Amino acid sequence: NAGVTQTPKFQVLKTGQSMTLQCAQDMNHEYMSWYRQDPGMGLRLIHYSVGAGITDQGEVPNGYNVSRSTTEDFPLRLLSAAPSQTSVYFCASSYGRTAYEQYFGPGTRLTVT
């Protein structure tokens, strides 16, 4: 099993550009989520999903969109990048519809200039 994979590992965007961060898991987990990690702020939940076709907002959803068309994939879209979105982004998944033992991907470091 590859576990949770994220692409790209690093990305630099200009203000106003859009892009999609990819996340995939091969563990047949129903629950998937996106976090951002900033210095001194810990991990903050952006969006989460409890299954294909079901998504909900977390703590910091503004500026981000998600969709879940398959169990395996949960992409995160930045609509119009802003410098405040410079961060490390982690995708995570867990068994069933719970957020208990989450498995994290390796992260994407995004810089917006």
Residues that bind other proteins in the complex, under the rule CB under 8 A:
31, 33, 35, 40-45, 48, 50, 56, 58-59, 90, 97-107
The residue among 17 and 44 lying less far from other proteins, judged by its C-beta, is 44
Euclidean distance between CA atoms 103 and 112, whole angstroms: 27
| Coil, strand or helix at 84 | helix
| Least gap, CB of 42 to other proteins (angstroms) | 4
The residue among 36 and 112 lying less far from other proteins, judged by its C-beta, is 36
| Least gap, CB of 41 to other proteins (angstroms) | 6
**Interior CA angle at 31 toward 85 and 57, to 5°?**
40
| Least gap, CB of 29 to other proteins (angstroms) | 13
The residue among 19 and 43 lying less far from other proteins, judged by its C-beta, is 43
Where would I find the H helices in 1-113? none
Euclidean distance between CA atoms 94 and 88, whole angstroms: 20
The residue among 6 and 85 lying less far from other proteins, judged by its C-beta, is 6
Euclidean distance between CA atoms 46 and 30, whole angstroms: 17
| Least gap, CB of 70 to other proteins (angstroms) | 18
